[in-house]
Amino acid sequence: MTAFYKELQAADAFKIRLPYPFSNYDRQLLTLLYQPMVGAEAISLYLTLWAEGEAERTETPHYTLMNTLGMPIAKIFESRIQLEAIGLLKTYKKGTESRTFLYELCPPLDPKDFFTDPLLSMFLFSKIGDIAYRRVRDRFILPAEDMESFEEVSRTFTDIFQPVHAKAGYPNDSQKMQQRSRKGYEAEYDFDFNLLHQGLSEQLVPKRVLTASIKDTICKLAFLYGWGPLEMQKVILLAIDDDYRLTIEGIKKSASEYYKMTVSTTAPKLEPVLAKAPEPEAEPKNRQDELILYLESASPIDVLRDIAGGKEPLSADVQLANNLVMQHGMEPAVVNVLLQYVLLRTDMKLTKGYVEKIASHWIRKNVSTAAEAMELARTEHAQYMKWKSEGSPVAASKSSSRSNGKPVREEKLPEWFYTKDEPQATAPQKNESLEVEKQKLLAKLALKKGKGD
């Protein structure tokens, strides 16, 4: 996974721009044409932004998207860049430390443009197979009507409307207007057209036939099949007809036939590169890094759910976590550390007053990362336990029992409390009771969640 935390964090704000209303037809195109290519999570993000963009909204942190979609920030980032690559989303950023993103939704391509595009059509074909591809193409591409026996009798504009010269002034044309356009995706190609021209005869393939749309198709096919100018010369020579004309369909057909003859009868596939090229710096080096990555990427609701063994957390606990993020401006990663610390320290009890007292301390200390919160919890642990004793009659009675020499069950702490970079074996080993095994299991669940996301 790429180092998403450098580009997107849960506290980053976002706004949505919907330049014009979308229709139910657009939803059908998204579901049947785009969803097989980018997956349900990316389309779910698009539909959520669509729904939110139809209402007037102010800047909102990405934490709200994490709650709505039930996805960690890593999945949202991955879905976002896939929507950008496929031409459904444009992203703009403002600021460096306090960042705001503007998400502009783009409509899906018309079916004719989609199935004409060699990359998109081949991408869809490789995902759903021949039978499903033909079925969905026939659904959206209607056959042309035979018009030879018909004569057009439509009236023109000037046949019906005539100008009337009156002193009513002129309309104001200075206002900027947004035009609904379907430009598709953006791509960068490194193709040498000079070398392509050198191997083609001007009499056989005049330069005038290489229009902008023909050149764009040549670049896409060269990218799809992994060819250079020399291979594309052969494809063009196969595609040009007797009248020295070159069409997009002819080039696509010739490229497909040449690929079958020289490479393979199986069509090439398109796969996202983000799953194949992880950045080395993003790889966690030890258990501590894995846990920090999990705490930085998961939402507080995910943490509450993982600590509860996969069960949905109570609404009161969710509301408490949401208030810390939305009303008090705490980073979600810091809230995650706070939730882990309090729950494991107080036998899975989330006391609002105790949580808010520690949260107030961390806000005054300007704690902004999971690592800073973990370090502060270690150094201020004695003070936090004093606050806990002062606010809990039960804890006070336990403290009194301890002073009377009665045995008291040892309260547990999160795994990260004992360790920084050293292995877990260096942690103090107290009573190996059922409670200890329970906390170990919870830590493993958290780490498993971090690895999986």
Q: Which of 352, 375, 376, 351 is nearest to 362 (CA)?
A: 376
* Cβ neighbours, 10 Å, residue 299: 27
Are 117 and 123 spatial neighbours (Cβ–Cβ below 8 Å)? no
Q: What is the pLDDT of residues 356-411, one digit of tens each?
A: 888 898 899 888 888 888 888 888 878 878 877 776 544 444 444 444 444 444 45
Q: How many Å apart are CA 226 and CA 231, to the nearest integer? A: 9
**CATH number 1.20.120 given to 4-110:** no
Residue 178 has pLDDT above 70, yes or no: no
So what's the pLDDT on residue 434?
A: 46
Q: Is the dihedral of CA 315, 316, 318, 322 positive or negative?
A: positive
Domain boundaries, the chain: 4-110, 187-269, 284-452
Instruction: Tell me the average pLDDT across 237-249.
Output: 80
Q: How many Å apart are CA 321 and CA 249, to the nearest integer? A: 57
pTM of the model: 0.64
Rg (CA), the chain: 31
Are 45 and 69 spatial neighbours (Cβ–Cβ below 8 Å)? yes
Q: What is the pLDDT of residues 84-138, one digit of tens each?
A: 999 999 999 998 778 899 999 999 999 999 998 988 998 999 899 889 999 999 9
Q: What is the pLDDT of residues 122-134, one digit of tens each?
A: 899 989 988 999 9
SS3 content of the chain, % helix, strand, coil (to 5): 55, 5, 40
If DSSP codes are grouped into helix, strand and coil, which group holds residue 59? coil
Instruction: Tell me the average pLDDT across 167-188.
Output: 60
So what's the pLDDT on residue 92?
A: 95
Q: How many Å apart are CA 200 and CA 195, to the nearest integer? A: 9
Amino acid at 174: S
Residue 301 has pLDDT above 90, yes or no: no
- Per-residue pLDDT band for 233 (boundaries 50, 70, 90) equals confident
End-to-end CA distance of the chain: give it in Å, rounded: 9
- Dmax (CA) for the chain in angstroms is 106
So what's the pLDDT on residue 300?
A: 85
So what's the pLDDT on residue 280?
A: 42
Q: How many Å apart are CA 263 and CA 302, to the nearest integer? A: 47
Virtual torsion, Cα 54, 60, 66, 68, nearest 10 deg: -40
Place of tokens 């107030």: 360
In this structure, the strands spanning 100-105 and 89-94 are antiparallel
Amino acid at 317: D
- Based on the number of CB atoms within 10 Å of its own CB, is 239 exposed (0-12), middle (13-18) or buried (19 or more)? buried
Residue 74 has pLDDT above 90, yes or no: no
- Based on the number of CB atoms within 10 Å of its own CB, is 243 exposed (0-12), middle (13-18) or buried (19 or more)? exposed
Q: How many Å apart are CA 366 and CA 376, to the nearest integer? A: 11
Q: Mark 431-452 as b/e (b = at least 16 C-beta within 10 Å).
A: eeeeeeeeeeebbebbbebbee
Place of tokens 């995902």: 127
